[in-house]
Amino acid sequence: MIVCICNNISERKIRQAVDAGATTMPKLRDSLGVGTCCGKCHACAKSVLRECLDDANQAQPMLFQSNALAA
């Protein structure tokens, strides 16, 4: 799905940018140019960004540390 028509930025490109380390809208603007022309895509791009970050957080396994004091 195209998110930013002005700069031809797709949801896939946003996902790739998040995978490469973009975690905020300013970083997406800098790396992709999303939301830099008319601004109508900002809300949709932010929604895709949040969804990607949520997906990434859920994909990471929780690490439990053993309690050295418990025996």
Q: How many CB atoms lie within 10 A of CB 40?
A: 12
Residue 52 is assigned to a structural domain of this protein? yes
Task: Indicate which CATH number applies to the domain containing 37.
Answer: 1.10.10.1100
Report yes or no: 34 and 9 within 8 Å, Cβ to Cβ: yes
**Which pTM was predicted?**
0.78
Output the pLDDT for position 7: 95
Q: How many domains does the chain have?
A: 1
- Strand-pairing partners, residue 9, are 4
Residue 44 belongs to a domain:
yes
Which residues span the domain enclosing 40? 2-14+27-59
**Residuewise pLDDT in 10s, the chain (71 residues):** 999 999 999 999 999 999 999 999 999 999 999 999 999 999 999 999 999 999 888 876 656 665 655 55
Q: Is residue 7 part of a domain?
A: yes
Q: Is residue 65 part of a domain?
A: no
Asked whether residue 64 is assigned to any structural domain, the reply reads no
